[in-house]
Structure 1
Amino acid sequence: MNPLELFTDYTYSQALWGTVIIGICAGALGPLVLVQRQALIADAIAHSSLPGLLGVFLSCSWLGFDGRNPLLLIAGSIVTGLTAVAIISSLTQRTIIHRDAAMAATLTTFFSLGMLLLQYISRNPLPGKAGIQDYLLGNASTLTRADVKSALVIGGGVLLILSLVHLKQSAVVFDAPFAQLAGIKLNIVRSLGFIA
């Protein structure tokens, strides 16, 4: 078998392009999060997105729509991920709870809700539920062309946002007092870094 034939295989090519797109976005976002010593925020957002994804799947299934629509699933994930970030910020600003503890509490609460929804889905006859558990840990071999297109659109948006706020983000990350004196809105730039 010629190794180049792998690129013509549908499953291999979709898995390859999907993981390359996600890897590029993770490589662009990772250093910003690491330098700010908030590496756990990625885990908190990822685990908190599960109930949003499953909630959209359930809602669409009950309403008779396609519950596996990638853009709707991503929208649900974004909503609960941003909600988790807002809760973490609120807990650390308004209470004496340390940021790591706030992330852990938010992560476990949202993830527990997601696991409850996953159990409900697995025990009820819903159309299109096969493989929905793969969204929990991921399975690159199940990526479809629609998944790769969605990742490309969202990844492009992430890279666009990061390129637009790169200089301000760098100033906020490495010298926050200077950035504040320069008139940069710290909360807005930090939020854009997390949204991207």
Structure 2
Amino acid sequence: MGGTAWRAGVLTLMLTLVPALPEAAVAGPSTVLTEWPTWPEIFRVITLRDYNTRVVVIGATLLGAAAGLVGTFLLLRKRALLSDALSHATLPGIAIAFILMTLRGGEGKNFLGLITGAAIFSVLGTASVILIQRHSRLKDDAALGIVLSAYFGLGIALLGIATRMEAGNAAGLTAFIYGKTASMLFMDAVLIAATALTAAVFCILFFKEFTLICFDGEYAAAQGWPVTRLDFLMMSLAVVVTVIGLQAVGLILVVALLIIPPAAARFWTHDLRRMLWLSGLFGAAAGFAGSGLSALTANLPAGAIIVLTASAVFLVSMILGSARGLLKTSLERYRLKRKIARENLLRAMYEWIESCSTDRDAAACVRRAIPFEAMLARRSWTSAEVRRTFRHLAADGLVRPTPPDAYAPTTEGWEAARRVVRNHRLWEAYLIARADIAPGQVDWGADEIEHILDPEMIESLEKMLPQGPGGAFPESPHPIGPHRGDV
């Protein structure tokens, strides 16, 4: 009896904490789980056999392409948050347009009227941000936060009024907040196609001008370019794409289509043209895959799936990107760190041999065998780091172990050490001659730069020497001895 009462109490508590379980969950697992699509169904979606699927997928794909193209310049212009404020500012425009059209006895949910109101208020929102930035001491992020929250709050209030009107509940205005891709009509897809074509044409025609103001707006203004008008044109394209994308992904998620594809494309290239087209391709792929997955599985919101697909592309790009991916940059950082350690040890070996003159080290100097402890004392590196670096040098044939605990440079190692020391001293000479740095202070500065000098820079530095290129080996401008420094 007591056990039954305890179980009943636990069940009552669970029902209290979770009061609104879906009916499907209560009915049993067979009504909750959705069957996986079959291969014929997948093929049917990919080949766009069904009319509704064809309209939705093509519309979402073109929207993603347009957003990717325009978003590239927004990202480089550092206007990512501005596009977020722009999208949220559309909500009061949608609500006011619906109210006015309903009061005039028209069709309150006329799509063209709603997006016209959205476009007007997105421009007002952008103008509000610019006005606050130019005529107040607030920073950009504060101005964006104020405008975004104010316009969105106004939109929610007006939306509440609109939904209480006679035709308000049937208008489906909340679809503009979360998106409703499945309701896309043929004319909507045509409008998106025209927008995508317009965005592509303007991005091609004004590629040079947009590139200039994205990378150096002050220089463009100094050269006489109409920066304000170009900025207005760029933001106008963003407004058009945002307004057109409201029905597909909603005002909350449309900013993702503007920012995520170009952010993903930036991991793959350093060339702006390639980044532009990769961004359009990634946006189109996200639109195609997201709307296709939504069509295959019931109760999956297409807008959210499109954004999640774009996020997956971004994640893969961030890790595997051939230009700035985490794997590539981590590998390059490891290689540079290993190169610095090798060159620092080679320079330490050369300087030890160059400076050793005591009777105790005379025999070692003659045969160029450098004691391990002598290298360990020259820098603030650990014993494990020095031994690991010596192993790397030995594996490359630059040093050879010499009993009892010493290392001697090979012919190739000696030449490599001479090149490293020469580059170091060339840069020291430059710092003394051009930067007016005292000879006793140049060692650290040269140590930071010598590892990244390219052949052209070395040739320029050699011309500074009195004997010219190919002259005598430069001497150290400061005494050489055991010192401590960074590895």
TM-score greater than 0.5 by the shorter chain = yes
Q: Distance in 2 between matches of 1:177 and 1:104?
A: 26
Give the one of 42, 45, 51 matched to 2:92: 51
Contact 2:66-2:195 within 8 A present in 1 as well = no
The Cα of 1:4 is off from its aligned counterpart by: 4.5
Give the one of 98, 110, 117 matched to 2:151: 110
Aligned in 2, Cα 1:61/1:8: closer, same or farther, shift over 3 Å?
A: farther
The residue identity in structure 2 corresponding to 1:129 is: A
The Cα of 1:15 is off from its aligned counterpart by: 1.9
CA RMSD of aligned residues (A): 1.8
Contact 1:161-1:192 within 8 A present in 2 as well = no
The Cα of 1:128 is off from its aligned counterpart by: 7.7
TM-score normalized by the length of structure 2? 0.38
Select between 20-29 and 162-171 the one with higher mean Cα deviation.
162-171
Contact 2:92-2:118 within 8 A present in 1 as well = yes
Give the one of 127, 144, 150 matched to 2:185: 144
Q: Give percent identity, aligned residues only.
A: 23
Aligned in 2, Cα 1:112/1:160: closer, same or farther, shift over 3 Å?
A: same
Give the one of 60, 69, 73 matched to 1:32: 73
The Cα of 1:142 is off from its aligned counterpart by: 1.5
Which residue of structure 2 lines up, in the alignment, with residue 5 of structure 1? 44
The structure in which a higher percent of residues are helix is 1
The Cα of 1:138 is off from its aligned counterpart by: 0.6
Q: Distance in 2 between matches of 1:59 and 1:28?
A: 34
Aligned in 2, Cα 1:51/1:136: closer, same or farther, shift over 3 Å?
A: same
Contact 1:48-1:81 within 8 A present in 2 as well = yes
Q: Distance in 2 between matches of 1:161 and 1:139?
A: 28
Which residue of structure 2 lines up, in the alignment, with residue 95 of structure 1? 136
The residue identity in structure 1 corresponding to 2:181 is: A
Contact 1:70-1:150 within 8 A present in 2 as well = no
Cα deviation, 1:51-99, whole Å, max 9, x if unaligned, reads 1112112211111222222222221111100011111001000000111
Cα deviation, 1:80-135, whole Å, max 9, x if unaligned, reads 00011111001000000111111111111111111112212222221683422111
Equivalent residue pairs, number: 196
Which residue of structure 2 lines up, in the alignment, with residue 18 of structure 1? 59
Select between 8-17 and 31-40 the one with higher mean Cα deviation.
8-17
Contact 1:54-1:117 within 8 A present in 2 as well = yes
Contact 1:57-1:68 within 8 A present in 2 as well = yes
Q: Please state whether the residue corresponding to 2:225 is helix, strand or coil.
A: coil
Select between 54-63 and 177-186 the one with higher mean Cα deviation.
177-186
Unaligned runs of 5+ in 1: none
Contact 1:44-1:106 within 8 A present in 2 as well = yes
Contact 1:70-1:146 within 8 A present in 2 as well = no
Aligned in 2, Cα 1:72/1:162: closer, same or farther, shift over 3 Å?
A: farther
The higher relative CO (CA closer than 8 Å, separation ≥ 6) is in 1
Q: Distance in 2 between matches of 1:34 and 1:116?
A: 31
Q: Please state whether the residue corresponding to 1:8 is helix, strand or coil.
A: coil
Unaligned runs of 5+ in 2: 1-39, 238-487
Which residue of structure 2 lines up, in the alignment, with residue 64 of structure 1? 105
Select between 102-111 and 156-165 the one with higher mean Cα deviation.
156-165
Aligned in 2, Cα 1:8/1:67: closer, same or farther, shift over 3 Å?
A: farther
Contact 2:108-2:167 within 8 A present in 1 as well = no
Aligned in 2, Cα 1:149/1:66: closer, same or farther, shift over 3 Å?
A: farther
Select between 155-164 and 106-115 the one with higher mean Cα deviation.
155-164
